[in-house]
Amino acid sequence: MRQTSFADLDYDHKKRQTRRELFLAEMDKAVPWALLLEPLMPHYPTSGRRGRQPMPLAAMLRIHCMQQWFSFSDRQMEDALYEIESVRRFAGFAGVTDALPDETTILNFRHFLENNGLTAVLLDTTNAHLKANGLLVSKGTMVDATIIHASSSTKNQDKARDPDMHSTQKGNQWYFGMKIHIGADVNSGAVHSVTVTSANTADITELPKLLREGDEVVFGDAGYTSDEYKRGARHLGMRWCVNDKRKPNKNLSSKQKKRNRKQSSVRARVEHIFRIIKCQFGFRKTRYRGLAKNASQVNLLVGLANLYLLRRPLVAA
């Protein structure tokens, strides 16, 4: 057992906690660590290169989550483990004299998750945990999409832009990147379905992938307006609460405007997840090339955003 040092005593008795420490304390209680580790264990290597023992899986998962929460690169994450006491403690290391993972080890863990398709499994495990706690059980879905910017620079080895990213126009502004499409539970606001496409993919094309089998109502903005889908939803017994779109040279009627405002008051809750991902976690621009790597990150970000959004009822439960 490691002996308590004077530095430990000073840290434990300091006058106030930082916002990072409070955030980590909340998430430590909200994240179901044992459940998330179960699907990873069968795939995690039992021995490293040259017979070395790999880093503990629990520590690497916590480090990877902190990368998403604080938008750290692999090198920044390594530096944070050496510089920031709260980060190091959250990962489960006692001090800087411990064998801390370097940036290559952190990078390899991300590749481990990507190559085995495990972030999608982590999202499913997280949502199963929310459902077990009665937080993802309504029969209504809110759908929405958001654009994530990608680098348009050609100053790279291929002398070209990322071929998986495309440009799209929104209003009078052009954007280059990808698009995250989500289906969120009407009551809790947590995301149960997510897809990632290039930015020029129309929102309506991803709608069938974002609905659950038992859904009875769907909410969406005017980007999901479709007479074909509306008839199909009604044929299946679903309420179609998608906002009406203004037609060329024809304004919406007062009845349509009133209905749009009423539906928007419900649908607006779907934006909370995007606020967490973009503002809280800082995911405004892609870090990697290709949709596959970015989709892997998005799956984990969405799962962590669900837990952050519902952290208080989860802790209370």
pLDDT at position 5, please?
58
pLDDT of residue 291: 96
3-state secondary structure of 68: helix
Region of poorest pLDDT, from 10-14, 86-90, 158-162: 10-14
Identify the helix (H) or strand (E) that includes residue 235. Answer: helix 227-235
Distance CA 161, CA 35 (A): 39
Q: How many residues does the chain have?
A: 317
pTM assigned to the model: 0.91
Residue 164 backbone class (left: φ over 0; alpha: ψ -120 to 50; beta: rest): alpha
pLDDT of 10-40, one tens digit each? Answer: 666 677 889 999 999 999 999 999 999 999 9
Q: Is the dihedral of CA 138, 144, 149, 150 positive or negative?
A: positive
- Domains of the chain, first to last: 6-116 (no CATH), 138-287 (3.30.420)
| Rg for the chain, CA atoms, rounded | 22
Q: Is the pLDDT of residue 9 over 60?
A: no
Going by the DSSP 8-state scheme, the letter that residue 195 receives in this structure is E
What per-residue confidence (pLDDT) applies to 96? 76
In this prediction, residue 156 carries a pLDDT of: 83
Residue 195 pLDDT more than 60? yes
Distance of alpha carbon 35 from alpha carbon 245, whole angstroms: 43
Q: What band does 229 get if pLDDT is binned at 50, 70 and 90?
A: very high
Tens digits of residue pLDDT in 42-56:
999 887 666 577 899
Query: How many other CB atoms are found less than 10 A from the CB of residue 79?
Result: 14
Angle at 228 between CA 225 and CA 231, to 5 degrees: 100
Mean pLDDT of the chain: 91
Please state the rounded mean pLDDT for residues 153-166: 88
173 burial (CB, 10 Å; 0-12 / 13-18 / 19+) is exposed
> Which position has the higher pLDDT, 155 or 18?
18
Q: What percent of the chain has pLDDT over 70?
A: 94
